Chain A
Amino acid sequence: MKKKVISMLLAGAMVLSLAACGGGSSDSGSSGGGAAAADSGSSGGGAAAAADSGSSGGSGTKLTIWTWDQSFNIAAMNTAIEMYKADHPDFDAEVIETPSEDCETKLTTCANSGDYSTMADIVLMQDNSYQKFLASYPDAFTDLSDIGIDWSQFPELKQSYSMVGDQHFGVPFDNGAVIGCYRTDILEEAGYTIDDLTDITWTRFMEIGQDVFAKTGKYLLSSEASGGDTLLMMIFSCGAGVVDADGNPYIVDNEAVKACVDIYVQMIKNNVVLLVNSWDDYIKSITTGQTAGIVNGNWITGTLMSTEDQAGKWEITTMPRVDGVATATNYANNGGSSWYITSNCKDVALAKDFLLNTFGNNTDFYDAILPTTGAIACYLPAAETEAYNAPSEYFNGQPIFATIVEYSGHIPAYNRTPYHYESRTALNTAVQQIVDGADPATALQEAQDTLAFNMGQ
């Protein structure tokens, strides 16, 4: 009897679950058909509607958007949706939280299987990895050259991350300008001020760092050993890349790379730079006060500000420049991302109009997201608004937002490569070997060979 009951239950569960699944599948089948119909309907009028912003709001399609980070990208996108909705009551969009790596995995799977139907209408992609996806899957994205954005209002470097030739594929979003952040209390203990670290060279930085270490026992900088960006930021600040104009690895005979590796290794050996193993250790070195300084993309301020007991102790300035290289500057970029419209977009005209009137040209929008997300614009006119010039209490009253946007206008362009992360790993490995006593020329040759291998050469 008991056995019968169990088997009945089992069979019952099976039937129920199959019924539930069946319902789900027929449901999605019809919605898929609906999407296809909408797609074919709107694509004909896409070009015409792009020029006329008013008419495209009423199509009634719901845009889906893939992005990550509740307190940053998602919050900014939700504000954009709200603001656009205020002018276009019919507009509807849904954000689907998708971590950056998952956006990439999904894109790869869809592209390789030739079925883009599960792609969102709009996706956010990291600037450093986008080019690789565009090169591999050019039919996954929509050309945005005619979107109507005044491109001169965005830094050239930022635009270049989402461009091929003269074609624009992305709408720039957050700013990755590199800043130097320093603990003024520790600097003071060693007899320095923030001005002593402004617009200096890395050689001077090393002198100060050695002095700070001798007087306070604290490092002036920390960096991740294998995944750190410090070395690449130094190279990019010279307007140099790790590849030549044709995209081939260019490390061994590259004077800028050699100068950067040389000074970076010296700083590690002289207790100026603390090498740590992971991102978590990197954060720990900052929150525990083990290091007195940070050189990184300005988004690091978000982590800093969560360390409330260090409020008022930090100030920002420019990063140091590499000496002995003619093109060296005190500016570089690290990180940041841009919005893209996929080829699966149900209503390209609507998506373009939405991005244009929020991220593309709207200082009110950038003002609105600044206090809630801390997301700093690449849109240069945003720096002139009141919100951007407000003093930041955490940074001792400095108007850091306007300063950062101003920095982003000075960043030199460099030869980018889709193999950004591969080059980072190769160079960091070389640095480790040199610190451990290897011959610099051999180590750099090995880095160049590894990079070439990764590129499939």
Chain B
Amino acid sequence: MTEKKNVSMIQRRLIPTYIFLVIVSIISVFPLYWMISAATNTSTDVSRGKIVPGGYFMQNFKNLVSQQPLWKAMGNSFFYAILTTVVCLLVCSIAGYGFEIYHDKWKDKLFSTLLLAMMVPQVATMIPLFQMVSKAKLLNTSVGFILPMVSTPFMIMMFRQNARAFPIDIIEAARIDGLNEVQIFFQMFFPTMRSTYAAAAVITFMNAWNAYLWPKVIMTDNKSLTMPMLIANLITGYVTDYGMLMCGVLFCSIPTMVVFFVLQKQFAEGITGAVK
């Protein structure tokens, strides 16, 4: 009897917390809801502030497809985002692993320099970067597109932090068993750190998917149009079709949402640094 009372008391005490959480959830989910409902309304209805979903989605979609190469942009975005993610994960995990496992007296100084680079905003490095890429004849190529994104100080730091939790005993045991260093990385470190890789994959994929300024500057033809560029193209006119715009935004956000939801569990583990 008393136990039941306790439970109900605890529940009652939690009511304000739940109310608070519900309100916060509504606030954070509302923009998402508004995006979907706006994609189903006419531009005029959207500008008039209608928030109830309408029946105009197919028309918005048709307008979008007839005006912009939606599927090509989706394909490009997937190509560049996946390529960047794969290469970035490989490069940064090797770097992070190396920084943590191998020892050298200059290591920490080098790492600090690397972290300093994190403080420099992207726009500031844009012109020198453009010059480098232009001299290397990489303008308008996939390599030029992904190169500045494959090795980021943040990712290296994340892998180094998580490698700290990787038991050194495993490496020593593997060495005794006759594995060479490359094998240890791929066969021991890589499978153990799966959740870190998942978290890094989500972050890199999102960054690569949303990349705008750099690709826009170095990619010069219509063939390399990506989703964020397509969205930008929709808002530049004298007249903005809000319904069509939101329809485009919806298509642009779906992949990152899917990636996040699929890897959500590992993402949370990876961010907090878990070794299994």
Contact = CB atoms under 8 A, between A and B. Distances in A.
A115 B137 CA distance: 11
Interface in A1-30: 3-4, 6-7, 10, 13-14, 17, 20-22, 24-25, 27-29
Interface in B113-142: 126-128, 130-131, 134, 137-142
Given A105-B217, A106-B216, A6 B190 contact: yes
Interface string A278-319: 001001100110000000000110110011110000000000
* Residue with the highest number of chain A CB atoms closer than 10 Å, among B47, B138, B139, B213: B47
Interface stretch (A94-102, A213-221, A264-272, A383-391): A94-102
Contact of B67 (A70, A112, A283, A309): A70
Interface in A45-85: 64, 68-72
B222 interface: yes
Contact of A3 (B134, B190, B233): B190
B86 interface: yes
A320 B18 CA distance: 57
Nearest to B131: A113
B237 A96 contact: no
A28 B222 contact: no
Given A14-B86, A99-B233, A118-B220, A302 B130 contact: no
A236 B271 CA distance: 57
B86 A28 contact: no
A109 interface: yes
A71 B47 contact: no
Contacts of A14: 86-87, 90
B68 interface: yes
B222 A96 contact: yes
Interface residues of B, number: 46
A72 B139 contact: no
A22 B243 CA distance: 40
Q: Interface size class for chain A? A: 35 or more
A300 to B, nearest CB: 8
A262 B238 CA distance: 30
Contact of A117 (B48, B86, B134, B222): B134
Contact of A28 (B43, B137, B232): B137
Contacts of A94: 221-222
B232 A25 contact: no
A142 to B, nearest CB: 19
A127 B199 CA distance: 47
Given A109-B217, A308-B44, 16 more contacts: A3-B191, A6-B190, A25-B143, A27-B141, A32-B137, A71-B239, A72-B237, A96-B222, A100-B236, A102-B216, A105-B213, A109-B126, A112-B127, A118-B134, A284-B49, A306-B241
11 contacts: A13-B86, A14-B87, A17-B142, A28-B140, A68-B236, A71-B237, A99-B232, A105-B216, A106-B217, A113-B127, A113-B128
Interface of A: 3-4, 6-7, 10, 13-14, 17, 20-22, 24-25, 27-29, 32, 64, 68-72, 94, 96-97, 99-102, 105-106, 109-110, 112-115, 117-118, 120, 280, 283-284, 287-288, 299-300, 302-303, 306-309, 335
